[in-house]
Amino acid sequence: MTSTLILASASPFRRQLMQNAGLAFSHEAARIDERAIEAPLEAAGRSPDEVAVALAIAKATDVSSRHPGALVIGSDQTLSLGSRVYHKPRDMAEAAEHLKSFSGRTHRLNSAVCLVRDGNLLWYDVAHAELGVRVLTDDFIARHLSRVGERALSSVGAYQLEGEGIQLFSGIQGDYFTILGLPMLPLLNKLRELGEIDA
């Protein structure tokens, strides 16, 4: 017998990935303070992978607390470039600073996914994507942000690869699901292993 499956996310992109895969699920946003979780981990020198996993688990655990017996999917993503870990830009000036710092360089997306039932972590995985940004002029960055507007503030990299953000890149290594923050292939493999979806 399969469990009730819940995606602990408000992201329409992650919901679309689940729908496209033919999964029967509901969704609910977690009620957590991401910065309160991230800050002590980063201060303790935890890796971008560890921060992403902690956030994914926190989201799934929170939603799990309200849905006994349900299998809850948590996911989160960090963006790293060298030793710097990025957060969602607070305003358009910070979005511009993010894009300027990516110019001509390759950054990494670290996407964690986990399964929690009744507050217990059953499984987690982290997938990576490497994204090469072409050289961007200040004028281009300003025009780009003017076109995409407040959407730039909704993602850690200040871009949406599924939209105009694709114009920022010169090369990408990694799958689309990882880039959107929900590594579907390891998730589907685990759901099959658990007997939750058709194998």
52-106 confidence digits (pLDDT tens): 999 999 999 999 999 999 999 999 999 999 889 998 899 999 999 999 999 999 9
Q: Which of 62, 76, 118, 175 is catalytic?
A: 76
CATH class of 5-193: alpha beta
In contact, 140 and 132? CB cutoff 8 Å = no
Of the two residues 163 and 117, the one the predictor is more confident about is 117
Please state, in angstroms and rounded to a whole number, the distance separating the CA atoms of residues 139 and 76. 32
For residue 106, give both structure tokens: 């390759």
In this structure, which amino acid lies at residue 194? L
Please state, in angstroms and rounded to a whole number, the distance separating the CA atoms of residues 35 and 55. 10
Residue 76 annotated to the active site: yes
Please state, in angstroms and rounded to a whole number, the distance separating the CA atoms of residues 129 and 127. 7
Q: Residue written as tokens 């496209």?
A: 20
Residue 138, CA atoms < 13 Å, CB-side half-sphere? 2
The domain spans of the chain are 5-193
Confidence (pTM): 0.90
| Longest distance between any two alpha carbons in the chain, whole Å | 57
Strands 71-81 and 106-117 come out as antiparallel
Please state, in angstroms and rounded to a whole number, the distance separating the CA atoms of residues 112 and 123. 11
